[in-house]
Structure 1
């Protein structure tokens, strides 16, 4: 939306991603699964694809519905599922403090950290933390990162 929506009938000014028979990257269907998240920081847009097991990114805010993502972190390209590589990131939830990127991953019970914002495919994290239980969600406030799981 170019302006804050007034009600549920306010359609967005731009939607990214293709639909059946329409050009563009498929952000839905089997890639989105049970949820996706978006982080926008420093001109970059990161979109997590839960069942796609990756986070795709744009180096600038998309301006067209058929605009393709420019990169995917953790995979060699925007089409490869991380489960097909040695890098596993399932149901990713991104967060950022403006300079680093944090991604919680529930299937493998890990927190992935990039010290600087990744901007190319295949960017591997600087740190990977194994956690005692799956982090289903996260929230970042100031310099405090909170992870939420089944018992936390």
Structure 2
């Protein structure tokens, strides 16, 4: 069986939007150098990745359009075990995001600029589902950024 290192690296790089080693390591609460060890087939010599590690990575990459089954399979689970693990991951994922913002909505001009910026980084030939997912991921941050352009005191 080939090393799981290359497959893990390919899955991380296939994430939408792509995620760096540092960002993924931070998301799973691990030093970047420790995470990088698992992507280095010259250093990680085992046949399978640790199950707890794959659980954490799968939960993060699932939010980046990576099938959690592909990550969990790197731990050597059977197909039945994979289904059980995926079910458990989906149950702990919150169905909504909570964003706390005290803001007035910007005017049409600022909103249009915000949407132009959001769309500028997207492949508009991609499937609509992918475009919608990317917009949903970046909308909270874009709204916060746009809100900073509104004066604190409006007369």
| Structure-2-length-normalised TM-score | 0.27
Name the structure with the higher strand share. 1
Which structure has the larger Rg? Answer: 2
Structure number with the bigger relative contact order (C-alpha 8 A, sep ≥ 6) is: 2
Name the structure with the higher helix share. 2
| Structure-1-length-normalised TM-score | 0.27
